[in-house]
Structure 1
Amino acid sequence: MAFGEIFHTDHPNHVTFQLNDKLAPGAYSYLIIIDGIGLICTCLWRQQKKTSRYLNETIAWYEQHYDLNRRPIKRVGGKGDFSLPDKYVHEGRYYVGEAGGLQDFMWGFGMRYAVTSGVMAAKAVLGECDYESEVRGRLVPLVRASAVNRFLMNRVGNRGFKMVANHWMRDQRKKGDGLVFMRWVYKPGLIRRMLWPVVRLGMLRRKQLADGRMVSRMPFRKALSRDAWEPSARGNEIAEHWNLVRKGGGKTSFSENDA
């Protein structure tokens, strides 16, 4: 689940990615600014009550570290689902991208999976390849590696996040490219292949979808004791300000039940 706020700002173009288990339980938050429009978003990978407090506190954190001069426009949100299907071709239909479970279990990304699987499906329709074999050979190992990464990340808090971030930054300074470390993280090597049976049994649950497909699905995790905390004074101020913005016409893309 993710919640964000879109706003006007006079801050220069900027992107920040943050690992913070308090502000984004089990996940991450980010700030993106492009040509005067900003987005602050926090992702929640554990069930929570009063979820709007996470967005308010995340906004407060970014305001503390960046001179945003934030002027809210609207708030957005959405839910994701992570599962691995038994088959990628079902009753004559080719399932691509997120619909086919081709999504990153660790961070929730999936645009490259969507494009790549879409091209594979098109080639299969033209008789140029076997879609099931192509997906299983080229994409499924990467998705499984991301599921193993998520399994490991679920077992660490801010201390583990800090270790990962510090190692990532050291590797980037040494090699001049932060993507080198990410390629290693997603490489489906021997250790991840050995851990996969444990992850499949320990983190995923079997489920039949409405269209008849069977999948191994990652359920939403329960909240932890460290998720119980009270909003800060600044967080409460941001919540009150947003209520005023809503009364003045500010919109949300999610229901009150979601927040």
Structure 2
Amino acid sequence: MTDLHLHADPAARSRTGVPFSRLQAVVAAASAEQPDAVVVTGDISQDETAASYAAAARLLDTLACPWHWLPGNHDRLERMAAERAPPAAVDLGGWRMLLLDTQVPGAPYGRLGVRKLAAMATQLDKDRRPTLIAMHHPPVAVGAAWMDAIGLADCDAFWRTLAGYPQVRTVLFGHAHQTFAGQRQNAGRTVDVYGCPAAADQFLPGATHFAVDPDASPGYRVLALDGGHLSTRVVRVCDAYSGALQEKAARPVPGV
């Protein structure tokens, strides 16, 4: 899941709906999938209030599985961590997931920097299991000019650091408020890169300037890890204002 954009007031509206009710619908649909784990890739809050993080945590706590989150550009990390501290790594059995903090306080774009890239490398040195990396800011262009200008500023350094770690199979990101599926050729290997529908408003794919997509529903991405292989699909969930569930067909992704 990604980009919840909650307010302290659960009735507060965003551009195209009510974020709290949309998150309720997303969490209910995801819960029905009986996931083994859930990760939320940032922008938990819109108004940066402690109450918004508490509301998110209460809803996520209704999941019958562990859940984890990481900060986005809208988040206040200390208030987020007061509810639940983002972990650096999550054990997924045969797989492992690293959660990266790409936040630059006060800026819409993201950056890792030398220290965080070194910490990522240290984590990867510790364990050679197949690995997912989750972050907020896209480390690739998503095809919307205004969004690409506020992605991960040091994405080249990120990919250079990953060059020595063939266990990294997949990178997940938020921030873009739209479905994205692509690949990055890195050091002779293919890394799959996925974005996810927001739980709040959706952005218009391919837009030159900021634009919302009023016809797109909130949703989430499902990843199935089977041995060294990964398959994924996107689920769209209509909230209480429209009331149906649409599911996009799965696209199998071979392990690298």
Q: TM-score, normalised by structure 2?
A: 0.24
Larger RCO (CA within 8 A; separation ≥ 6): 1
Q: Which has the higher helix share?
A: 1
Max Rg structure? 1
